Amino acid sequence: MDQRPAIELRGLTRHFGERTALRGVSVRVAAGATLAVLGHNGAGKSTLLRILATLLRPHAGEVSILGEPLPRRGFAVRAKLGLLAHEPLLYRDLSGWENLVYHARLHGVGERRVEELLESVDMRRRAEDPVRLLSRGMVQRLAVCRAVLHKPALLLLDEPRASLDPAASELVEPLIGRGTGATRVITSHDPSAAVAEADLVLGLKDGRPAFVGPPEKLDARELRELYA
């Protein structure tokens, strides 16, 4: 059995000009586990997700995703990733159906999968409407469908329940929740909710790791300091 972690970071560092977005981040995430990444705005959470998604290159350190080193083998893992970012990554002038079919074809997935996902998030009736005419919550539901179309082994979820009311959150839970069996990396403005579904927590403070460990080891004081 392959015992390699799904994610392994060693001394990960990333700069933007003179600003250091991440410095010395090290963490190992087992296959099928959930990593919650916590910290205030600008702490480096989204930068970390973009590196894991192969959208940014690290400036120092080592990154391994699903057994493949990044960025050298990024092409080998992109088809196994599902990214749900702040931006929905949908074409606004296309309908939800057209967007999902386009992405499905990129992954070699049939239209039946698109139909099933639209039904599961209660978007079949609005599937022919241009994305630009939909509410933010409806767009988020479509973005969830896009991210999981190909049943990825690794889900990168940046504020996954943003703009979703409780009913919509319940609809997408089977697609992005713990029951998927996928390895998950989650960021959230609701740290208590993220910690509740995490197996491991990475707390970032100004780009540096301030806490790495199981959620039960993160006390209330440490959590407050991450957002101070």
Q: How many residues does the chain have?
A: 228
Question: What pLDDT, in 10s, does the model give residues 94-148?
Answer: 999 999 999 999 999 999 999 999 999 999 999 999 999 999 999 999 999 999 9
Domains and CATH numbers, the chain: 7-91+154-226 (3.40.50.300)
User: Residue 2 has what pLDDT?
Assistant: 53
Cβ(144)–Cβ(121) below 8 Å: yes
Question: How far is it, in rounded angstroms, from Cα 187 to Cα 195?
Answer: 10
User: Residue 162 has what pLDDT?
Assistant: 86
Nearest to 3 by CA among 48, 51, 67: 67
Of the chain, the percentage scoring pLDDT greater than 90 comes to 86
Question: How far is it, in rounded angstroms, from Cα 63 to Cα 118?
Answer: 34
* pTM of this structure: 0.94
User: Residue 189 has what pLDDT?
Assistant: 78
The answer, yes or no, to whether residue 66 has pLDDT greater than 90, is yes
Stretch 164-183: mean pLDDT? 95
Instruction: Copy the structure tokens of residue 36.
Output: 């919650």
User: Residue 1 has what pLDDT?
Assistant: 41
Q: Phi then psi for 69, rounded to 5 degrees? A: -75, 135
Alpha helices in the chain (DSSP H): 45-52, 74-77, 96-106, 111-120, 136-148, 166-176, 191-196, 220-226
